[in-house]
Amino acid sequence: TEACLSQIEGAGALNAFVHHTPDIAREQARAADTRIKAGDAPAMCGIPLGIKDLFCTKGVPSQAASRILEGFKPEYESTVTQNLFDAGAIMLGKLNMDEFAMGSSNETSVYGNAVNPWRRGNDDAALTPGGSSGGSASAVAADLCLAATGTDTGGSIRQPAAFTGITGIKPTYGRCSRWGVVAFASSLDQAGPMTKSVRDAAIMLSAMCSHDPKDSTSADFPVPDFEAALTGDIKGKVIGIPKEYRMEGMPAEIEQLWADGTAMLKAAGAEIRDISLPHTKYALPAYYVIAPAEASSNLARYDGVRYGHRAKLAQGDGITEMYEKTRAEGFGHEVQRRVMVGTYVLSAGFYDAYYNRARRVRALIKRDFDQAFDAGVDAILTPATPSAAFGLGEMKDADPVQMYLNDVFTVTVNLAGLPGISVPAGIDTQGLPLGLQLIGRPWEEGDLLNTAYALE
């Protein structure tokens, strides 16, 4: 813990940690020492973590990287962080992210972006750590903590993991409790670990998940020991290669990475099978209707009355002006865009044309996966991202849809509620890490982690 705290002090330029909690960390570390001495130490005991700012942590600023939650210190602890602390884990501080987890580059944060510790060849230009869990990815990659929590609504664990050469898993929807995790799109949001290895991910995921009566979508299943699933044996497993993920204009390096990963799994004894997931091309548009729709509803609670920031009012301003001014000042541009899109697609005249249609597309996407699994496929291998980490500021003036294209390989998994993992799988010609994604059957994270283990 002390080593991490001093490492963090020297790494301010990465802007990964946005709130520091050294006192809490030292107190938890002392308690962990006592448990270890008493011989009562689960695997997470004494492990120093960073916590994404989206998690409510009791008495500690939890702002979802938004101005509107300025000064907000929750009265309660999220179930996931409580589970980790009960297992003896240590919180070093809160990690940077895109505002309300909306973004793929960490550039929508009120704290300014986190920075990727990797550089392109000899070029000094700062690169994005990805988003929205960019602070988590940067902190783990730069050894500021041993692991971090992330959340993934459309790729926010897997894309930053791929951009920084670390491992990140989004479990099956319902595996981790959403209680105390600031809501973005409730039917898609899941927490998960971001770690240096598949084994660490397995250990941390077991500690994070639990059945939680406080989240009505939390699954009432026993929590498996995911580490025990890591046998390294994947003989006879069927790996699906979906042809629809071979996008036009895909860089040759990504093609190569995918082919190399396929060859590795084959060499380990897996059977490789070409499959089709025909509705893949509709996933991104469906996601960018459903996610903003749910976000516009979830974000209605930030009204200047109950939490955080409230705008200064002028003489004669009423409650409507208070809402308008507070929300105009408190939300950044991307969040405002999502609220507008979401409100539009949910409005009476457009509900059927957009929201209902997107929901039907979502069901078809899920059916594609179900059919593949029913036909005997155990896991599906795809690239995690369409490119390596890009330069900070590079996308600033681009059409927002350019940024959304980053999520093309990851959003299907959230729409279908499946577990997905990104593992570091190679280095591109400029020296940047690339990730491969494995998608698994629901509730079979152990199997998925084991397949990822064979790729490591």
Interface with ligand GLN, residue 261, by CB under 6 A: no
Interface with ligand GLN, residue 102, by CB under 6 A: yes
Only one residue has tokens 């479990």, namely 171
Piece in contact with ligand GLN (CB under 6 A), picked from 17-25, 150-158, 223-231, 303-311: 150-158
Interface with ligand GLN, residue 103, by CB under 6 A: yes
Both tokens assigned to 179:
């209680």
Q: Is the CB of 98 or the CB of 447 nearer to ligand GLN?
A: 98
CA distance 22 to 176: 26
Q: Is the CB of 265 or the CB of 291 nearer to ligand GLN?
A: 291
Write down the least CB distance from residue 95 to ligand GLN, Å: 14
Interface with ligand GLN, residue 109, by CB under 6 A: no
Which one of 28, 109, 136, 156 is in contact with ligand GLN (CB under 6 A)? 156
Interface with ligand GLN, residue 422, by CB under 6 A: no
Both tokens assigned to 116:
């990727």
**Catalytic residue chosen out of the listed positions 66, 78, 136, 156:** 156
Which one of 21, 78, 153, 210 is in contact with ligand GLN (CB under 6 A)? 153
Interface with ligand GLN, residue 190, by CB under 6 A: no
369-379 burial, b at 16+ Cβ within 10 Å, e below that, comes to beebbeeebbb
Please confirm, yes or no, whether 94 is among the known catalytic residues.
no
Interface with ligand GLN, residue 104, by CB under 6 A: yes
- Residue whose C-alpha is closest to residue 412's, from 296, 265, 248, 242: 242
Burial of 262 (0-12, 13-18, 19+ CB in 10 A): middle
Q: Is the CB of 326 or the CB of 422 nearer to ligand GLN?
A: 422
CA distance 230 to 111: 38
Interface with ligand GLN, residue 132, by CB under 6 A: yes
Q: In what order do the strands lie in the sheet with 167-170?
A: 17-20, 90-95, 48-52, 147-152, 190-195, 167-170, 420-427, 433-440, 379-383, 238-242, 271-275
436-450 burial, b at 16+ Cβ within 10 Å, e below that, comes to bbbbbbbbbbbbbbb
Which one of 53, 253, 407, 447 is in contact with ligand GLN (CB under 6 A)? 407
Phi, psi of 53 (to 5 degrees): -65, -5
Q: Is the CB of 77 or the CB of 152 nearer to ligand GLN?
A: 152
Closest residue to ligand GLN, based on beta-carbon distance: 156
Interface with ligand GLN, residue 154, by CB under 6 A: yes
Interface with ligand GLN, residue 240, by CB under 6 A: no
For ligand GLN, what does the binding mask look like between residues 270 and 299, x meaning CB under 6 A?
A: ---------------------x--------
Piece in contact with ligand GLN (CB under 6 A), picked from 97-105, 248-256, 374-382, 429-437: 97-105
- Residue whose C-alpha is closest to residue 200's, from 232, 176, 234, 166: 166
Interface with ligand GLN, residue 152, by CB under 6 A: yes
Write down the least CB distance from residue 162 to ligand GLN, Å: 13
Segment 300 to 319, residues that bind ligand GLN, using CB under 6 A: none
Interface with ligand GLN, residue 107, by CB under 6 A: no
Total chain residues near ligand GLN (CB under 6 A): 13
Please confirm, yes or no, whether 237 is among the known catalytic residues.
no
Write down the least CB distance from residue 184 to ligand GLN, Å: 6
Which one of 46, 155, 193, 342 is in contact with ligand GLN (CB under 6 A)? 155
**Catalytic residue chosen out of the listed positions 132, 133, 138, 210:** 132
Q: Is the CB of 161 or the CB of 219 nearer to ligand GLN?
A: 161
Piece in contact with ligand GLN (CB under 6 A), picked from 26-34, 153-161, 260-268, 364-372: 153-161
**Residues near 258 by beta carbon (within 8 Å), at least 6 away in sequence:** 241, 381, 382, 383, 436
Piece in contact with ligand GLN (CB under 6 A), picked from 111-119, 149-157, 244-252, 378-386: 149-157
Distance in Å from the first CA to the final CA of the chain: 27
Please confirm, yes or no, whether 78 is among the known catalytic residues.
no
Write down the least CB distance from residue 245 to ligand GLN, Å: 17
Catalytic annotation, residues: 52, 132, 156
Applying CB under 6 A, which residues contact ligand GLN? Answer: 101-104, 132, 152-156, 184, 291, 407
